[in-house]
Every structure is written in C-alpha cells, then in structure tokens.
Amino acid sequence: MTEQAFFILTALVGAPRHGYGIVGEVAGLSGGRVRLKVGTLYGVLDRLAGDGLVELDREEVEQGRLRRYYRLTDSGGAALTAEAQRQAANARAASDRLHGWRPAGQGGVS
Amino acid sequence: MTEQAFFILTALVGAPRHGYGIVGEVAGLSGGRVRLKVGTLYGVLDRLAGDGLVELDREEVEQGRLRRYYRLTDSGGAALTAEAQRQAANARAASDRLHGWRPAGQGGVS
DNA sequence: TCAAGATATATCGGCTTACGATATATTGAG
DNA sequence: CTCAATATATCGTAAGCCGATATATCTTGA
C-alpha cells in the first residue's frame, strides 16, 4: 500500500469525507508533510473503491457544487489496521538496529 | 522512500554487505514479508548510491565469484532514522484514529 | 564428464502508480 | 467582469518494482 492510499484511508476513519475535504484532512493528520494532489487523489480513490476498501457514501449538492462522499468499508478498516501494524514493525526493526549499532565496536554488548 | 530502499538501508546498518547477502538479510529482518528480487535490488542500490545514502565499501573475489560490498553513509543513516520516525508517526496516527472509531460501520452510530 | 542447483552481478521490458497540468463548473469578493 | 476558492475529472509523463533473461563460477551427484 502506498503512503497516499494509507493516508486517504486514515482520513476516512470515523466519518465519510468528500475528495477535496480529504486533501485537507490528510495534510492535517500528516503534519503538513503529505500534500495530496488532485491528480493523485481521484486515481487512488478509484483504485481503493475497486479494491473494496472504500465506497461511495452519498452525493450532496451544496451551494451548486457537487460533493461526493466516500466511506471506509470494513475491509478497508482491516487493511488499514494491518498496514499500520506493519509500518510500526518496520520502523521498530530499523530503530532497534540503529540504536544497537556500536561504531567500530570492539567491545561486546553491555 | 520506498519500502525496498528502507529495508536495504536497514540491512546495511552495522556492517557492509554485498548484494546477494542483502536479499537474505532483508528477508530475515522483515520476517519473510519482503522478498527482494534481484531486478529490484541493483536498481535501488544504484539509486541509493546516486543519492549518497550508500557507497561502495570494497570488492572481494571469493571462490572466483565477485562480491561487491556496500556500506551505509552518514547521510544514509540519517535518512533511515528520519524515515523510521516518520513511519512510526504515520502508524500511530492511523492507530489512534482506529481505536477511537466505533466499528458499527454502516449502521449509523453517531 | 555432464547436468543441475546455488551463488552473484547485471540489464531489459512491462506494469503500476504519483504527479503536474489542464478542463469544467459554481460561488463569492473586488 | 475578473479573479480566487471550491470541487470533480482526465491526460501524459516520469519513477519505481518486478519477472525474465544473461553471464560466470563452484558444488553436488549420477
């Protein structure tokens, strides 16, 4: 799973959101690091819908502008949970190695 | 940074390794989940070298077979540290949201 | 001696994916 | 009327992973 897909799923946890709203939500929960481009957003959204991880919740017309809301499916929630655990494990594997590394270590582990 | 690059950098922490040895090391520290293909390995390795994250350590000829050892640079270590922290933060952001979520899903809990 | 498998590096084409640019449409500010 | 913001949608390009393939040596086994 790509980072963009990961954050889009995360943004949909708890409440359905529409495309443009997802962009802002992702920017917020990533601390501003991930700035989703619209060209990326709809492509990822379609792919996630095709995989059954998200689905169309409803369509609203607010002030003449169409808003298409997407919702996280049970399958999507499970996939996100698994992905979060996988990334946590990866990060920990790297951190353990980095912290356990003794430069030019002639001594043992104390 | 891709997951493959992340694991290759992690495999090089502590000791230089040669290409084929990296494949085995990555498989081990990822719990068997990441099986690096040779077609991927050398492409990623060249890219990491081009970015200054790894560099050639030495070349050995053991039993007629060439072994090209790569070493993690200071820049590579810093990049890996930052990436590990980033992934840990991403995983936590998703987990926090998921734990606060009531999985009543389509039932409409509000 | 010959064949097969493991080790080891290298390259190519195909496929998926992210991104920037662009298009369309409405509302509100100037 | 023009400009900016909101909002969805599509296209071409570039990047990156993967499977397949090629080359070469050593070991195992019939």
Q: At B100, list the tokens.
A: 């606060």
| Nearest residue (CA) to C1' of C18 | A40
Does the CA dihedral A6-A9-A14-A20 come out positive or negative? positive
**Band (A26; pLDDT cuts 50, 70, 90):** very high
CA A6 to chain B, closest CA, distance in angstroms equals: 8
User: Is the pTM of the predicted complex or chain greater than 0.85?
Assistant: yes
**Residue A9: closest CA among A60, A45, A35:** A45
Query: How far is residue B94 CA from its own chain's centroid?
Result: 21
pLDDT tens across the length of chain B (110 residues):
999 999 999 999 999 999 999 999 999 888 888 888 888 999 999 999 999 999 999 999 988 888 999 999 999 999 999 999 999 999 999 999 999 865 544 433 43
**Following DSSP, what letter does each residue of A28-60 receive, concatenated?**
HHTTT-----HHHHHHHHHHHHHTTSEEEEEEE
Determine whether the interchain pair A88/B89 forms a contact, defined as Cβ–Cβ distance below 8 Å. no
Determine whether the interchain pair B87/A88 forms a contact, defined as Cβ–Cβ distance below 8 Å. yes
| Nearest residue (CA) to C1' of C12 | B39
The rounded percent of chain A whose pLDDT value lies above 90 is 73
**Band (A32; pLDDT cuts 50, 70, 90):** confident
In this structure, the protein residues whose CB atom falls closer than 7 angstroms to any atom of nucleic acid strand C are A 2-5, 36-40, 43-44, 47, 63-65; B 18-21, 38-39, 42-43, 62, 65-68
The rounded percent of chain A whose pLDDT value lies above 70 is 91
A51-94 pLDDT tens trace: 999 999 999 998 888 999 999 999 999 999 999 999 999 999 99
For residue A102, pLDDT beyond 80: no
Tell me how far apart the alpha carbons of residues B39 and A99 are, in angstroms, rounded to a whole number: 31
**Following DSSP, what letter does each residue of B33-97 receive, concatenated?**
-----HHHHHHHHHHHHHTTSEEEEEEEEETTEEEEEEEE-HHHHHHHHHHHHHHHHHHHHHHHH
Determine whether the interchain pair A13/B85 forms a contact, defined as Cβ–Cβ distance below 8 Å. no
**Could you give the C-alpha distances from B72 to A87, A101, B53, B77, in angstroms and in order?**
22, 12, 6, 6
What is residue A107's predicted lDDT score, i.e. its pLDDT? 37
Among A97, A102, A106, A109, most B C-beta atoms within 10 A, so best to mutate, is A97
Q: At A101, list the tokens.
A: 């590394």
Tell me how far apart the alpha carbons of residues A52 and A100 are, in angstroms, rounded to a whole number: 41
